[in-house]
Structure 1
Amino acid sequence: MEKTQGFPSLLAYFRAIQPISEEAAEALNSIAFEIKTPKNKHVQEIGQTCRTYYFVSSGLARIYYLKDGIDVTEYFAFENDMIIRAESLFTGKPSKKAIQAIEDTELIGISASKLETLFDSYPEIERLFRKMMEMSYVAYVNRIESLQFHSADERYRQLLSGFPSLLERIPLKHIASYLGITQVSLSRIRASIR
């Protein structure tokens, strides 16, 4: 069988999580599509229903919501990260959160309904997405625990150690809201580290 083209970096990412056959890879490629989103534009707006799994192939995106009119960043997605609004994707209800490109961003989208049809024919695809959901859940729990048990300084240091290029790529206001602190507090923390 001829080698799969299409989205080789996405397939490499998938195969690092769960081995999938060439036939399954072809099936995934057949339902995947590319989305180019300019800096600061939305992939999905607040109030829309999420019906797509997104993977960042280049650039950077975030999930955010508004609380009392204040923009709060919940999640950053770098290259090869999945970005979805799970509460909307799995319930079919409109989301109170948005997905926004922080840089000019290229994403690969996979329709949730088309993916569901592949699960019956390709159990390895279903296992792959189950593992990715488990990984996302663990990351989410770790984030909640970080907010509960670590100081703002510790959360900032953790974030920097995981993503050293963060300050070059993300506006400080988004980093501060992600950490659950004000931009003034973030400036103080940054000054104390220098």
Structure 2
Amino acid sequence: MENELLAFLSKLDVFTGNEIDELGNLLTVKTAKKNTVIVKQGQVCCDCYFVLKGCLRQYVISDGAEKTIAFYTEEQAINFYTSAVQKKPSQSFLISLEDTVLLVGNPEINAGMFARFPKLEQLTRKMMEEYFGQTQDSFAEFMTSSPEERYLNLLTKRPELMQRVSLSHLASYLGITPASLSRIRKRIIKK
């Protein structure tokens, strides 16, 4: 568990060896077995997460059905900003699809750590800005594409998900039924 954190911090080439050791002792790392619910819809979640290892799915229940809204894998941030900062109930669930290792933070703890390690604050801000931009681009692309284009996009941008996520979860994420996803896959194979 600490190995993943230390390996990630070392890879960044931002911190000195002493800073890495200090951060390794201060940062909170949490493990979750496969199929562990990390956040429940309706729960006030005061934490944000960063995936060091594993795959997670964020989903909502709408009209009695689970609708996947995101998948998170290594080196991706999961932010429940509205819930954490505004103390509002989460609108979604977060579940581990694999055994997972997460870096856990929250606004109160992060403020003190950022004061002590300004490079950590700069790094976190840069990562969040990049993530926000990617999310906006992905949303716009999703809204303007057909289900087949969404699937091809996913194959291009996140091919690892095909091996890590069930077809029913992928179909839900793409906004289609598993049967529709099967037809799309067959059409693509024939081309």
TM-score, structure 2 as length reference: 0.86
Give yes or no for contact 2:60–2:68 (8 Å, CA) kept in 1.
yes
What is the match of residue 177 of structure 1?
172
- 1:21-75 residue CA offsets vs partner (Å, 9 max, x unmatched): 5555445323322322122221121122222232222221111111122111111
Match of 2:42 among 43, 47, 62: 47
What is the match of residue 142 of structure 2?
147
1:135 to 1:12, Cα distance in 2 relative to 1, 3 A: farther
Alpha-carbon distance between aligned partners in 2 of 1:145 and 1:67, rounded to the nearest angstrom? 22
1:20 to 1:169, Cα distance in 2 relative to 1, 3 A: same
Question: Which stretches of structure 1, 4 residues or longer, exceed 6 Å deviation after superposition?
Answer: none
What is the match of residue 117 of structure 1?
112
1:9 to 1:87, Cα distance in 2 relative to 1, 3 A: farther
How far is 1:94 from its partner? Answer: 1.6
Alpha-carbon distance between aligned partners in 2 of 1:52 and 1:136, rounded to the nearest angstrom? 17
Query: What are structure 1's unaligned runs of at least 5 residues?
Result: none
**Greater shift in the superposed pair: 182-191 or 19-28:** 19-28
Give yes or no for contact 1:36–1:104 (8 Å, CA) kept in 2.
yes
Paired positions, count: 188
Which aligned pairs between 1:89-104 and structure 2 lie closer than 5 A? 89-104=84-99
What is the match of residue 11 of structure 1?
9
Amino acid at match of 1:99: L
Give yes or no for contact 2:4–2:53 (8 Å, CA) kept in 1.
no
Are 2:101 and 1:106 equivalent residues in the alignment?
yes
1:90 to 1:136, Cα distance in 2 relative to 1, 3 A: farther
Give yes or no for contact 1:53–1:110 (8 Å, CA) kept in 2.
yes
Give yes or no for contact 1:62–1:76 (8 Å, CA) kept in 2.
yes
TM-score, structure 1 as length reference: 0.85
Query: What are structure 2's unaligned runs of at least 5 residues?
Result: none
How far is 1:165 from its partner? Answer: 2.8
How far is 1:131 from its partner? Answer: 0.9
Percent identity (aligned): 32
